[in-house]
Amino acid sequence: MTKTIWKAVAILALPAGLAAMVACTRPADQVTGRGIYQDYCVACHGESGRGDGPAAAGLSKKPADLTRIAARNGGTFPLVKVMSTIDGYTRRNDRGSKMPEMGPFFQEGPTVMVETGPGISTPTPQRLVALAEYLRSLQR
């Protein structure tokens, strides 16, 4: 009797285990900026990036309009500043920010060299770069 139950448990658990393995071996280059945005940002910042996601109404602070970052910055999209804003939130959670902790997610996967200043290249998580590039594409 107990043996049969364990057999059933094993059969049920197997597909879940395989699915987890497949998820882990998914190549990093399939993780697009748009995909990350859809998964982690859309709830607050909205599909369009204007800060009108379904979770925005419940927040004490309105999510920023991410389509106007360049406009707020004299017409230039501040790529490096945006990346450190997104990443910085992960280390300064005590600032009263409503943004979620993203650090562990970005640290997974490869890094790419990004020019962060004149003649200065910094290894940067490829996912963070992809996400910031996606935000750049939303500017209006």
Examine residue 33 and tell whether it contacts ligand HEC (CB under 6 A): no
Examine residue 61 and tell whether it contacts ligand HEC (CB under 6 A): yes
Cβ closest to ligand HEC, residue 18 vs residue 59:
59
Q: Rounded distance, CA 89 to CA 98, Å?
A: 9
- Smallest gap from Cβ 8 to ligand HEC, in A, equals 39
Q: How many CB atoms lie within 10 A of CB 126?
A: 19
**Paired tokens of 31:** 């993780």
Number of residues that bind ligand HEC (CB under 6 A): 22
Q: Rounded distance, CA 71 to CA 139, Å?
A: 8
Nearest to 100 by CA among 28, 14, 37: 37
Look up tokens 């594409």; give the residue. Answer: 137
Options 128, 129, 130, 131; binder of ligand HEC; rule CB under 6 A: 131
Write out the residues near ligand HEC by the rule CB under 6 A: 40-41, 43-45, 55, 59, 61, 63-64, 66, 69, 72, 82, 85-86, 97-100, 102, 131
